[in-house]
Structure 1
Amino acid sequence: MSHNPFTSKIYQDNWLKHFVGGKTSKSFSFIKGLSFYKHAYLPYYINVGKNSTNGITYQIDAGFEDYKGKTFLIYDVPEYCMPDNSINLKKLKNYKVRQYKGFLADLKGYDNLESYMLDAFSSKSRNKHRSSIKKLEACFDVSYHIYDKTISKKDYDQVIQGFRDLVLKRYDSLQLDTNLVGEWSFYEEVIYPMLKNGQALMINVCVEGKPEAMSLVFVEGSKITGAIKAFNPDFYKFNIGHIELSKLIEWCFENGINTLDFSKGEYEYKTKWTNYEYLYHCHVVYDSSSFASSITAFFLAKYFQLKQYLRDKRFNYFVVKMKYKFKNLRGSSGVPIFKISSLSEALDFDSFQVVDLENDSQINLKRIVYDMLYRKQESIKNIVIYKQVSNSKIYYIIGRKSQLKVEII
């Protein structure tokens, strides 16, 4: 029997500790699989985990009536997991409010990654994916890692820090605010015991000894659910996020996983790799014989309908863009503009300063260097970067197959 990882004791105890000050949860006999806590001011109960989960499931037990006079708010119920007996009781009613789109890869009926990609991808896309892997491995020293219950605490501490750094880089490149950073202490504390308990996995594409694409997934029997995904945008040209995802799907086939749920949120990689779309709903369960419960449920449903209307109008996207801008007003010096040209003149680099790609404080040249490597399929080990001593705004990227001049305008 499989169990939802988001309703496990490890997940829920840590969530209560980090988000509601360690309140104790309360279970009800009429609803199986969930625990709740009471809203601080309003007369309704909220499922533990709230909107920090990636899919909640539950069942109604008609033999109990401890719902009387109460209202319950349940976040993020996938429509393919809707409880089929939630409307069989005369007094217990349920508002279902549409929320996010969800995506999953149904791997049943396929033998391996290649057979799945034959259905999911065009011939051109499959060739591009293979080419991206080939180029990444030709240009860099690349390794792939799955972290499971065998990981040590020392290794975990290092990996989770690298994961946080990737999340920061990714959202900075998108110029979007994210709650993930503020909530990271929760994930840092909950992931390790769930890894050790076989309820979570992390996958890492490591380039030159550093994590550059990572995902966190939760395990439920023959199904895994994606929770957090991030990659270093400097490797955008190599499609490193897609490479990491293909390695995860390979692992699924090797380990008897037949469903990879990408969870809520609409992103390009999801529409590309999935073969099934669904909707998440917010459920408001209430006692229709109670006026107080009915009116509370009515206004809760209207509130979430309004939130979804604003989400449909992309107002939430506008909000996270504005929050990012306001948070980064101070100390923002703007993104430098480059002029990039092929080096046509012979130069004596003995009088130039060699630049460390990792530590040059003036600009980040990595995207330019990596894009050049992708085009020429050249190893990073062949690259030397120089800077003029007399003019620190001019850089030279010198490889065996290509040489570039980069000027800061």
Structure 2
Amino acid sequence: MASYNSLDFYFDLFERGKFPPVVDDVYYSCDNSEMIRPNNSHSLTNSDVNGWFYLNNVPDYLNLTLKPDYKSKTFQIAQGFIADLTGYSDISNYLRNNLRPRLRTAVKSNIRRLELCFNITYHVYYGEISQEQYDSLMNNLYKFILRRFDELKEENERINEWERFYNLFLPLIRDKKASLFVIYDDGVPINISLNYHYDKVLFYAIPGFDIDYSKFGLGHIMLYKQIEWCIENNYKHFDMSMGDLDYKRQWCTNEYYLERHLIFQPKSIPQAIGVLKEEYIAKLKVYLQSKNIHLVYHSLIKLFNGTQEISEKEINTELRATKAYTTLLEIVDLENYAQYKIDFKNKKYSFLLRQLYDYLFTQQLPIDSITVYEIKPHEDYIIQTPQLCSRLYYQATEASRQ
């Protein structure tokens, strides 16, 4: 029986800049234009000629032309989401045609509030980045992901591959095959997106944000800025990849499928027999996935192996058992409190930031307009602005009392 090789189209393209050996040309299905062919694509080998290919993760928004004497059987394996940017002249036009009015208004409002409350700048590292900048940003992105998924009490598979990603992306960014999109607050990164690039496709790979700024909807703001950049730079697709998440459905223009192509030479009798077997197995796998058998399998594996805890947790476990509240105070009430002005930007008070930033969002105030006092001995806090004062305090949740 003939043997087969397995290649990954998606990540060979984005990480190695290669086409598979049996692929002559690739075309965008949106306008039938040709994708630039890489210079260092695979060459056909004897094993390629004598066997058949499983070519995994081929997005169906691309059409492949195979070398002579090859044919393919195609199977859908996962659903993905893209923003098809062809025909859009600017971000406003894109938003108007694809986002619901409520979300469109919220995103614009959040950008305005973010830029009002903080000293916000945006930067795209695409081609030029120093080792120091790269190390710092990757370290911040790693911490963002750890903290976010620790809060969700979930694991993130990207963390398990972090060393590989860290070693991979610096040369890719310098070769304009990847990028780091960064939102800064006063020079400190608060949202980072690590992306692949190939020809006119940007692949949204690894995002992360500082959860202290959650109220401002940084994920939506980052999508806005990246799609805006893609339109301005004549990209055809902003690929949000697989994974059925609400934000992808809210921002995408199209759903697509990642396909598995079983590529073979129909004139070869051993290959033809082998392909029939593989086609049956592939269809069986698709059927089992449609019945969610794979989810049961993965749940059993987790049950037997146990759930691995994420290391380097960043959230104060005591604060998890509390909830923050703010109440308005009259200026005259301040005489009843022993107040001590604090530098809330000091790392010692980092646990206050999320509540303070939520307050800035709600009141629509710049951060420099507030003063924070600690109340002794209760360890509550007063937020003072030119217009009003509020008391910030923490209270044990019902769960923590049990």
TM-score in terms of structure 1 length = 0.74
Contact 1:343 1:405 in 2 (8 A): no
Cα pair distance change 1:29/1:107, threshold 3 Å? closer
1:291-306 matches, within 5 Å, as 295=277, 298-299=280-281, 302-303=284-285, 306=288
Q: Which residue of 2 aligns with 1:276?
A: 254
SS at match of 2:256: strand
Give the CA deviation at 1:246.
Answer: 1.2
Q: Which has the higher helix share?
A: 2
Q: Which residue of 1 aligns with 2:154?
A: 176
Q: Which residue of 1 aligns with 2:329?
A: 344
Contact 2:15 2:196 in 1 (8 A): no
Separation (CA, whole Å) in 2 of partners of 1:28 and 1:79? 16
1:303-314 matches, within 5 Å, as 303=285, 306-307=288-289, 309-310=291-292
Q: Which residue of 1 aligns with 2:81?
A: 103
Q: Which residue of 1 aligns with 2:59?
A: 78
Separation (CA, whole Å) in 2 of partners of 1:197 and 1:378? 41
> 2:139 is matched by which residue type in structure 1?
Q
The one-character-per-residue Cα deviations of 1:66-92 (angstroms, maximum 9, x if unpaired) are: 557746443322122353659975xx6
Contact 1:176 1:320 in 2 (8 A): no
Separation (CA, whole Å) in 2 of partners of 1:269 and 1:120? 12
- In the alignment, structure 1 residue 11 sits paired with structure 2 residue 12: no
Give the CA deviation at 1:93.
Answer: 5.8
1:259 to 233, 237, 252: 237
Give the CA deviation at 1:257.
Answer: 1.5
Q: Which runs of 5+ in 2 are unaligned?
A: 1-8, 26-37, 397-402
Give the CA deviation at 1:407.
Answer: 2.3
Q: Which residue of 2 aligns with 1:197?
A: 175
Separation (CA, whole Å) in 1 of partners of 2:300 and 2:120? 37
Cα pair distance change 1:64/1:182, threshold 3 Å? closer
Separation (CA, whole Å) in 1 of partners of 2:305 and 2:383? 36
Give the CA deviation at 1:391.
Answer: 3.0
Q: Which residue of 1 aligns with 2:342?
A: 354
Contact 2:179 2:195 in 1 (8 A): yes
> 2:292 is matched by which residue type in structure 1?
L
> 2:240 is matched by which residue type in structure 1?
F
Separation (CA, whole Å) in 2 of partners of 1:337 and 1:317? 31
Identity %: 22
The one-character-per-residue Cα deviations of 1:273-292 (angstroms, maximum 9, x if unpaired) are: 21111111234556772567
SS at match of 1:327: coil
Cα pair distance change 1:278/1:351, threshold 3 Å? closer
Q: Which residue of 2 aligns with 1:233?
A: 211
Contact 1:286 1:294 in 2 (8 A): no
Cα pair distance change 1:351/1:155, threshold 3 Å? same
Separation (CA, whole Å) in 2 of partners of 1:66 and 1:329? 44
SS at match of 1:391: coil
> 1:264 is matched by which residue type in structure 2?
M
- In the alignment, structure 1 residue 397 sits paired with structure 2 residue 375: no
Cα pair distance change 1:330/1:315, threshold 3 Å? farther
Separation (CA, whole Å) in 2 of partners of 1:317 and 1:233? 28
Separation (CA, whole Å) in 2 of partners of 1:206 and 1:321? 41
> 1:354 is matched by which residue type in structure 2?
I
Tell which deviates more after alignment, 295-304 or 332-341. Answer: 295-304
SS at match of 2:196: strand
Separation (CA, whole Å) in 2 of partners of 1:127 and 1:28? 44
Give the CA deviation at 1:205.
Answer: 0.8
